[in-house]
């Protein structure tokens, strides 16, 4: 079919200054076998050989260089709406280093009043860091990588924390005055039952978080997908990890995953949650502003190994390799340079398809007029007949959104939009 045109797009084709900033801090105490993020664990993260100080210094330098480049392109820029420290386990950073990075961000990028500042944290007592210091430095949202609240499932995933750690971490964040708390959970775990998933969900609800992210476990092979080369944004997979994933895949089940998603949708709706995105639920006013920047296809800047940025026209990424990242930014001699990586210009047709797909991930969906009159209309006629989309009214505007069945089978519609 012919490419779609954008549903509505003030920024299509135009490069704009970032609305958000992502800072990737890649250290973890141990690497989980299912994890595809850019992570450096073990002796990289702790002990005499740790690379943490050098990396934080390099990230601080990259913040300066990226800000210089933005100043040159855009002159005066609006302050950031959101700042997100992801990883890895960013909560491993010392309070001193975190304060230094915040100071650089404030000085070079600016934060608008009430800007959302998120820190990802692991729940373990030796991983969640000093939440009071983080809050004092400006963190107002903490995202805990809980993944499960069942001890046996956590062990099977290779996680270091217990369900009790999750409860203690949430309580500690509340006591520190963190305004918004997210809990990340995974379903479609190997051998996980629907009942086991329900237990995890109910235990998470009992902690009264403000936001829940529920993702199906995906076990990809970044080597096979060509993501691990010189400029690749992924690290190579070890043979042991590949074996773990092959065995774990045997314990996954698409039908069971669909039942688990359906259960979550019903349970959370009954408890007053809004599923504002396919995989994300929030209490009123606690939608993730930073993630909405991605889903609304607004521009964002990014620093750190493996981090991705987007300026409205071009998607760019830093290579995942830690040594090359540090060497570029902290050279023994000569001037600091931006780290190696890659970039990709997004065509108008791809941009429009991306915008439509991202909009459909949200419960606001797309405008009904656009769905009916653009080149995507055939796909929407098909999706309506298949029960994947429905019409609804949003403050007087006719719109189209995914049904529950559409959320479960969204890829079938998304592929037709590409």
32 binds ligand SF4 (CB under 6 A): yes
Q: Is 383 in the site for ligand SF4 (CB under 6 A)?
A: no
Using rule CB under 6 A, residue 234 touches ligand SF4: no
> Tokens at residue 307, please?
């981090």
Which residue from 90, 129, 145, 163 is in contact with ligand SF4, where contact means CB under 6 A?
145
How far apart CA 134 and CA 83 sit, in angstroms, is 13
Task: For the CB of residue 37, give the shortest distance to ligand SF4 in the complex, in Å.
Answer: 5
Contact letters for ligand SF4, residues 287-326 (x by CB under 6 A): ----------------------------------------
- Out of 52, 82, 89, 118, which residue is the one contacting ligand SF4 (CB under 6 A)? 89
Stretch that binds ligand SF4, among 85-93, 165-173, 260-268, 390-398 (CB under 6 A): 85-93
State the residue for tokens 């774990």.
Answer: 248
Report the distance separating Cα 358 and Cα 353, nearest Å.
Answer: 9
> Would you state the structure tokens that stand for residue 235, as one six-digit string?
């690290």
Enumerate residues 6+ apart whose C-beta is below 8 A from 385: none
Q: Which of 18, 20, 87, 305 binds ligand SF4 (CB under 6 A)?
A: 87
> How many residues contact ligand SF4, by CB under 6 A?
11
- Is the dihedral angle over the CA atoms 320, 46, 22, 180 positive or is it negative? positive
Out of 5, 11, 20, 31, the residue judged to bind ligand SF4 by CB under 6 A: 31
Question: In the bound complex, which residue of the shown chain has the CB atom lying closest to ligand SF4?
Answer: 35
Which window, 25-33, 276-284, 327-335, 359-367, contacts ligand SF4 (CB under 6 A)? 25-33
The CA–CA distances, whole Å, from 227 to 89, 103, 224, 234, 341 equal: 22, 33, 8, 6, 12
Cβ burial of 21 (10 Å; 0-12, 13-18, 19+) is buried
Q: Does 185 interact with ligand SF4 (rule: CB under 6 A)? A: no
- Considering only residues 4, 19, 28, 268, which one is a binding residue for ligand SF4 as defined by CB under 6 A? 28
Q: Report the run of H or E that residue 80 belongs to, with start and end.
A: strand 80-87
Determine the Cα–Cα distance for residues 255 and 55; give it in Å rounded to an integer: 43
Q: Does 122 sit near ligand SF4 (CB under 6 A)? A: yes
Q: Which DSSP state fits 261?
A: H
Q: How many CB atoms lie within 10 A of CB 23?
A: 25
Region from 31-39, 94-102, 105-113, 371-379 binding ligand SF4, contact rule CB under 6 A: 31-39
Please give the residue ranges that form the binding site for ligand SF4 (CB under 6 A): 28, 31-32, 35, 37, 39, 87-89, 122, 145
């Amino acid at each position: 079919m012919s490419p779609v045109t954008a549903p509505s797009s003030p920024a299509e084709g135009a490069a704009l200054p970032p609305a958000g900033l992502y800072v990737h801090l890649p250290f973890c105490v141990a690497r989980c076998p299912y994890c595809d993020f850019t992570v450096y664990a073990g002796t990289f993260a702790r002990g005499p050989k740790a690379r943490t100080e050098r990396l934080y210094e390099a990230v601080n330098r990259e913040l300066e260089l990226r800000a210089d480049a933005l100043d040159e392109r855009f002159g005066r820029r609006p302050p950031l709406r959101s700042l997100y420290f992801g990883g890895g386990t960013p909560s491993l950073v010392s309070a001193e280093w975190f304060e230094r990075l915040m100071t650089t961000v404030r000085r070079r990028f600016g934060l608008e009043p009430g800007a959302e500042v998120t820190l990802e944290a692991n729940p373990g007592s030796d991983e969640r860091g000093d939440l009071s210091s983080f809050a004092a430095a400006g963190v107002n949202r903490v995202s805990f990588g809980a993944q499960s609240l069942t001890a046996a499932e956590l062990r099977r995933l290779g996680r270091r924390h217990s369900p009790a750690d999750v409860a203690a971490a949430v309580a500690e964040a509340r006591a520190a005055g963190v305004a918004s708390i997210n809990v990340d959970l995974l379903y479609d775990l190997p051998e996980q039952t629907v009942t086991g998933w329900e237990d995890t969900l109910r235990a998470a609800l009992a902690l009264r978080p403000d936001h829940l992210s529920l993702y199906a476990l995906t076990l990809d092979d970044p080597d096979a997908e060509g993501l691990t080369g010189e400029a690749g944004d992924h690290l190579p997979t070890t043979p042991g990890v590949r074996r773990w994933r092959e065995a774990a895949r045997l314990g996954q089940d698409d039908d069971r995953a669909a039942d688990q998603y359906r259960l979550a949708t019903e349970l959370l709706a009954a408890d007053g949650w809004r599923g504002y995105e396919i995989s994300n639920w929030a209490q009123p006013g606690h939608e993730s502003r930073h993630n909405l920047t991605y889903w609304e296809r607004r521009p964002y800047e990014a620093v750190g190994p493996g981090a991705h940025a987007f300026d409205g026209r071009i998607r760019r990424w830093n290579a995942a390799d830690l040594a090359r990242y540090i060497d570029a930014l902290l050279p023994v001699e000569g001037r600091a340079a931006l780290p190696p990586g890659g970039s990709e210009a997004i065509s108008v047709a791809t941009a429009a398809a991306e915008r439509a797909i991202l909009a459909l991930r949200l419960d606001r969906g797309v405008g009904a007029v656009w769905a009916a009159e653009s080149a995507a209309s055939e796909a929407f006629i098909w999706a309506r007949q298949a029960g994947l989309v429905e019409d609804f009214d949003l403050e007087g505007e006719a719109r189209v959104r995914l049904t529950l069945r559409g959320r479960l089978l969204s890829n079938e519609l998304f592929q037709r939009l590409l």
